[in-house]
Structure 1
Amino acid sequence: MTAYELDHVVLWVADPVRSARFYREVLGLEPLRLTEFTVGEAPFVSMRVGPGTVIDLTPLSVAPTLNAVPGAAGTAGHLVNHVCLAMAEEEFEALRGRLEAGGHRVTPDQRDSYGARGIAPRVFYFSDPDGNVLEARYYEE
């Protein structure tokens, strides 16, 4: 079987700067090209998830131009179901604490959820400011 690595996920957001602040302050992700975006030199902001993976925070206002891609008519601008972020158990607990302290709604834990590395003992879901749903999980080492 071929092994792939997730390169990037594009999330449609109303305000990439606001969303970058959320992903930096709550999730602890590093923003890339934020300054370039704010001065009009980059079309979106990226958030570093891992060495080879980013989340692109793309302004919803550009969705109509992406609908022009052959075969993509009507697809741009739709939210994904959710994006899952795996982390160490300590960070899992810290993230839940930051979300709750910031007044963000967090689902109750789900147990024994299957993912890319097998069974995660606990997962929970939350939303970013644009309604994109994220899942947090950890795997036992």
Structure 2
Amino acid sequence: MGDATSLGGMTNPPVRLDHVVLWVADPAAAAGFYERMLGLEPLRVAEFTAGEAPFPSVRVNEETILDLAPLTLGARMPALPGAAGSAGHPVNHVCLSLPPDAFDALRARLAEHAVPMTDIGHDSFGARGRAPRNFYFRDPDGNVVEARHYG
């Protein structure tokens, strides 16, 4: 695909996913869950607990993070056009792609911690084509996470 994509004759720079915001009841606890279960690096947790940052995050990769926004932050959302009442608005799910061995290790960790999960699905389509295996689970705040791996 190169450095630019063509869309209707227009050339655009490549688009990358920067972050996804998840609504959570306890951001520090949510960061701990994502660190323990997925090995994601927590960011700004100390700053959040000290009241110096509005929310912590966890790093998915060098380009992408999940922001863990407290539901109480929703009171400030009317300042954003069209965002009034959006605190806690459901997202269907977030999908994380892992190498096959990390996929298996995640499933084992979730089972060890009695986190409910679906059966393994096969041949689901995603950003990189067909994934041989995938499954879904919920974080402690009810956000649905899909885990998958590619060949």
TM-score, reference length from structure 2:
0.89
SS in 1 for 2:90: coil
Residues 108-127 of structure 1 aligned to structure 2 (within 5 Å): 108-127=119-138
Q: 1:54 offset after TM fit, Å?
A: 0.1
- Note the alpha carbon deviations across 1:69-101, whole angstroms, 9 max, x for none: 122223332121100000100000000000001
Distance in 1, matches of 2:89 and 2:81, equals 17
For residue 91 of structure 2, the aligned residue among 80, 97, 103 is 80
Unaligned 5+ segments in structure 1 are none
SS in 1 for 2:38: coil
Unaligned 5+ segments in structure 2 are 1-5, 7-11
Q: Is 2:54 aligned against 1:43?
A: yes
Residues 97-116 of structure 1 aligned to structure 2 (within 5 Å): 97-116=108-127
Q: Which residue of 2 aligns with 1:89?
A: 100
Distance in 2, matches of 1:136 and 1:125, equals 6
Q: Which residue of 2 aligns with 1:137?
A: 148
Runs of 4+ aligned residues of structure 1 deviating over 4 Å after TM superposition are none
Q: 1:44 offset after TM fit, Å?
A: 0.4
Segment drifting more, 76-85 vs 108-117: 76-85
Q: Which residue of 2 aligns with 1:15?
A: 26
Distance in 2, matches of 1:137 and 1:19, equals 21
SS in 2 for 1:67: helix
Q: What percent identity do the matched residue pairs reach? A: 58
TM-score, reference length from structure 1:
0.95
Q: 1:14 offset after TM fit, Å?
A: 0.3
Distance in 2, matches of 1:73 and 1:18, equals 26
SS in 2 for 1:114: strand
- Tell me the C-alpha RMSD between the 2 structures: 1.0
Segment drifting more, 90-99 vs 62-71: 62-71
SS in 2 for 1:25: helix
Which structure has more relative contact order (CA 8 Å, sep 6+)? It is 1
